[in-house]
Amino acid sequence: MSAWPSSERWTSTDTPLGTVVVVADHAGLRSIGFPDGDDPDRIGARGDVELRWLAATVDDWFDGDPTLETLPVHLDATAFQRDVLDELRRIPPGGRRSYAEVAARVGRPAAARAVGQACGRNPVALAIPCHRVVRADGELGGYAWGVERKAALLTLEDLERRDGCRHDPKRGTR
């Protein structure tokens, strides 16, 4: 792992589910997301060369390496949101928790809807895996980057858990 930048910087990488932009500063990850419809010039430039290690870490996550989920994050969040995001990091790849289960685990069993809102405000998708939180009936629920992406992320993790590798038609079996 290389050094964190002294000021907020960004990089991007192409993944099986689209371009991912990673923003970091001196204290850790600030945001990770799919910038659908954002400024293509910004994305096309690929960002800060010194942060290519972060782009490689995202690529490795898609190959089954969980290191991305262990990196420090630098978030502006309420105490409740931090509790929820910390709990999400405890859900293993391929695992699922309902919004109500997460609410109970953070000591607020009646706050399932607030858990959903905290997930929706999660600025560091993948590093804090909000895609692993589903409705109590097992349906996917929402996802800031689209329910189709949420389903694809869960499928990638399920394949890895089942087969020990991820299958990606764009990049071949990993």
What confidence tens digit (pLDDT) does each residue in 59-104 have?
A: 999 988 889 999 999 999 999 999 999 999 999 988 999 999 999 9
Q: Which of 20, 21, 114, 130 is flagged as catalytic?
A: 130
Is 151 inside any structural domain?
A: yes
* 165 classed as catalytic: no
Cα separation, 3 vs 26, in Å, equals 9
Residues 81-101: b if buried by 16+ CB within 10 A, e if exposed: bebbbebbeebebeebbbbbb
In the chain, the percentage of residues whose pLDDT exceeds 90 is 63
Structural domain of 15: 9-70
Residues 55, 117 within the same domain: no
Is 96 inside any structural domain?
A: yes
Residues 94, 45 within the same domain: no
Residues 95, 148 within the same domain: yes
Final residue in a domain of this structure, among 70, 89, 122: 70
Other Cβ atoms closer than 10 A to 147: 13
Residues 62, 43 within the same domain: yes
Is 86 inside any structural domain?
A: yes
What angle, 0 to 180 degrees and rounded to 10, lies between the N-to-C axes of helices 79-88 and 112-120?
80
Final residue in a domain of this structure, among 45, 70, 95: 70
Number of independent structural domains in the chain: 2
* pLDDT band, residue 48 (cuts 50/70/90): confident
In the sheet that 9-15 helps form, which strands lie side by side, from edge to edge?
Answer: 9-15, 18-25, 28-33
Q: In CATH, what number is assigned to the domain containing residue 152?
A: 1.10.10.10
Is 173 inside any structural domain?
A: no
Final residue in a domain of this structure, among 33, 50, 70: 70
What confidence tens digit (pLDDT) does each residue in 129-151 have?
A: 999 999 999 999 999 889 999 99
